[in-house]
Amino acid sequence: MTEISLEGTKKGVISVTKVEEPYGPKSGTVASIGISLSGDTEKPDWKVHLPIDNLDEVIAALQSLK
């Protein structure tokens, strides 16, 4: 897991991890991105799962926001 300090908060973190079979056997691998305002990566306030096959497009879209 990678943890990134969440800008604009005192303890907040962004956590990024790879989860295999998140929805049971044979479900696709995802990148899980969590936001925790309290710094508790085990119980994020928000979470999104992105299919690994979509990562290149999502990364490109995020880069275009800069």
Task: Indicate the pTM of the whole model.
Answer: 0.88
At residue 31, the pLDDT reads 98
Over residues 39-63, the mean pLDDT reads: 97
User: What gap in Å lies between CA 5 and CA 35, rounded to an integer?
Assistant: 10
53: confidence class by pLDDT, cuts 50, 70, 90? very high
Write out the H or E segment, with its range, that includes residue 62: helix 55-64
Residues forming beta bridges with residue 2, ordered by sequence position = 16
39: which 2 tokens?
């710094």
60: confidence class by pLDDT, cuts 50, 70, 90? very high
Over residues 36-63, the mean pLDDT reads: 97
